[in-house]
Chains A and B, each alone.
Chain A
Amino acid sequence: MARVLLFGRLADQAGWRDRVVDALDLSSLRGALAAADPGLGEALAAPGVQVAVDKAIVRGEATLSPFTEVAFLPPMSGG
């Protein structure tokens, strides 16, 4: 289980920005999100989209606990 946050155009596309998803690791989380919304699954896997686990950028796999926060970050625009 994890709290999932979407930012920027990803939140617009999904129609939500904050949701709890049942998953034990990042890949099963991606799988669950893609199963519920294939277009979103594709957008989350696109180049340039970074993943932060508990506010730290992660490349590759990560284990998730019920209190883990997973954020999908589309390319940042700067201030």
Chain B
Amino acid sequence: MTVTLTDQPFEPGALVTAFCVGREETGAVATFVGLARAEKGQAVALELEAYPGFTDAAIGEIVQGAVTRFQLHDVQVVHRVGRIAPGEAIVFVATAAGHRREAFEACDFLMDYLKSRAPFWKKEHGLGGARWIEPTDRDRTDAERWD
């Protein structure tokens, strides 16, 4: 299980390749990659602030919950912080399980929790200035469906 916060762009394909190495008992790996949207040219950049030591610990707890719930063999989460340009990857989630259903569902579960409950502060830099963003009602209800 690894959780990484990085202020550097990452290449999702290389992460998937490395994650799949040496898994003779894992029948399924599911991955999710979240990208920063350009919002039809309105978004200049996304800025994500984390609290090192607190944010990664909170994500670690979410990951532990997923491992127990879906009987996962492994999980990797990589999350960008700092300034992110449209088109760049913000988040990478990989789940490894014996069979595909658990891997798919755990990936979905992790993203719903990360989107609503991970301690990040997000600022959207647009053509008209910058604004702080709070979770949408949709983000909250997406996480509640797992309760």
A residues adjacent to B (C-beta < 8 A): 5, 7-9, 12, 52, 55, 71, 73-79
B88 interface contact, C-beta 8 A: no
Question: Which of the 9-residue segments B18-26, B45-53, B68-76, B96-104 touches chain A?
Answer: B45-53
Contacts A55-B54, A76-B119, A77-B133; A7 near B114 (Cβ below 8 A)? no
- Complex CA gap A7/B54 in Å reads 12
- Complex CA gap A52/B53 in Å reads 12
Partner of A79, one of B53, B120, B132: B120
CB–CB A77/B51 < 8 A: no
Indicate with 1 or 0, residue by residue over B92-132, a CB within 8 angstroms of chain A CB atoms. 00000000000000000000001111111111000000001
Partner of B121, one of A8, A52, A55: A8
- Complex CA gap A73/B118 in Å reads 12
CB–CB B132/A8 < 8 A: yes
CB–CB A76/B53 < 8 A: no
Contacts A8-B132, A79-B90, A79-B114; A55 near B57 (Cβ below 8 A)? yes
Contacts A8-B49, A8-B132, A9-B132; A77 near B120 (Cβ below 8 A)? yes
CB–CB A79/B51 < 8 A: no
CB–CB B132/A77 < 8 A: yes
Residues of chain A lying within 8 A (CB to CB) of residue B122: 77-78
- Complex CA gap A7/B133 in Å reads 13
CB–CB A7/B51 < 8 A: yes
Chain B, residue nearest A5 (CB): B51
**Can you identify 22 A-B contacts, CB atoms within 8 angstroms?**
A5-B51, A7-B51, A8-B121, A8-B123, A8-B132, A52-B54, A71-B51, A71-B54, A75-B134, A76-B118, A76-B119, A76-B135, A77-B120, A77-B121, A77-B133, A77-B135, A78-B114, A78-B117, A78-B139, A79-B34, A79-B115, A79-B120
